Copies of this chain bind each other. A is one copy, B any other.
Amino acid sequence: MVLPKNRQRARSDSEKEARRDAILKAAQRLIGRVGIDGMTMNALAAEAGVSKGTLYIYFSSKEELLLALFVDAMAQVVAIIEAEANADTLIEVMGRAPTEAPLFVPLLARLVAVIEANVPDNSLFAEKRKMRDMGQRVATVIAQVTGAPEHKAREASMALMLTMQGAAQFDISARRDLSSVPEDMRPMFEGQSFCKSFPAAARLILSGVTSDGRA
């Protein structure tokens, strides 16, 4: 199972970083197959080609690993927004970016109820700071793009993050196999996919920002 190659020790910092990334990548692949709830540390060790013990050298708990996965995904989302958003594309980009980072949406859906509930305080605060800073960067983009004043943009950024959390929840329901859903419920479930529900809500919020901004 375990390749001898992997038994090599990661001595330098860059080797450690590489191994950490390899574990995260393995988690991504594994979750792709079995889902977040289906991921076990056992299976992850096998997928990553390391031992269970090694997992705990790099992440002090399963939830911390998931949290790291989420923060990475969020960084990707924010980078996309920064790179691509402008006055015309803001909403489109904000609706698309979250779906382009693998696992961002499903991890977001479990962020509070499942992940944060099981991460020790100091780790949590460290990661939360990163999230806050990324939120601030999104606010900056919004301010630049809409011309809204800084505090408005911050408010909108927070509202959008909140909205994303809600939309991520909706999205879980929407992933259900539609053939098992009664006819009359299908439109409801379909409308709850992230791609549909988030832009609709985001548009309302941002129009609130801009119209208010102008008023």
> Which A residues fall within an 8 A CB radius of B?
37, 109-114, 116-117, 121, 125, 128-129, 132, 155-156, 158-159, 161-167, 169-170, 172-173, 180-182, 184-185, 188, 191, 197-198, 200-201, 203-205, 207-209, 211-212
Kindly identify which residue among B117, B163, B185 contacts A162, using a CB–CB cutoff of 8 Å: B163
Which residues from chain B contact A212 at a C-beta distance below 8 Å? Answer: 204, 207
Taking a contact as CB atoms under 8 Å apart, the answer to whether A155 and B185 are in contact is no
Taking a contact as CB atoms under 8 Å apart, the answer to whether A185 and B37 are in contact is no
Taking a contact as CB atoms under 8 Å apart, the answer to whether A162 and B166 are in contact is yes
Tell me, in angstroms, the Cα distance from A122 to B99 when the chains sit together. 29
Task: List 6 A-B pairs, Cβ < 8 Å.
Answer: A112-B173, A125-B182, A162-B197, A165-B165, A203-B208, A207-B212
Top-5 shortest CB links A-B: A166-B166, A204-B208, A165-B166, A162-B166, A159-B201
Tell me, in angstroms, the Cα distance from A208 to B113 when the chains sit together. 30
Taking a contact as CB atoms under 8 Å apart, the answer to whether B111 and A169 are in contact is yes
Taking a contact as CB atoms under 8 Å apart, the answer to whether B116 and A113 are in contact is no
Tell me, in angstroms, the Cα distance from A189 to B167 when the chains sit together. 21
Tell me, in angstroms, the Cα distance from A181 to B164 when the chains sit together. 24
Tell me, in angstroms, the Cα distance from A78 to B180 when the chains sit together. 29
Which residues from chain B contact A162 at a C-beta distance below 8 Å? Answer: 163, 166-167, 169-170, 197-198, 201
Which residues from chain B contact A166 at a C-beta distance below 8 Å? Answer: 161-167, 169
Kindly identify which residue among B109, B197, B211 contacts A158, using a CB–CB cutoff of 8 Å: B197
Chain B's closest residue to A204 (CB) is: B208
Tell me, in angstroms, the Cα distance from A181 to B162 when the chains sit together. 21
Which residues from chain B contact A198 at a C-beta distance below 8 Å? Answer: 162
Tell me, in angstroms, the Cα distance from A197 to B157 when the chains sit together. 12
Tell me, in angstroms, the Cα distance from A161 to B204 when the chains sit together. 13
Chain B's closest residue to A198 (CB) is: B162
Given pairs A125-B182, A162-B163, A166-B166, 13 additional interface contacts (CB within 8 A) = A112-B172, A112-B173, A113-B114, A116-B173, A128-B188, A155-B200, A159-B200, A162-B166, A162-B170, A162-B198, A204-B208, A204-B209, A207-B208
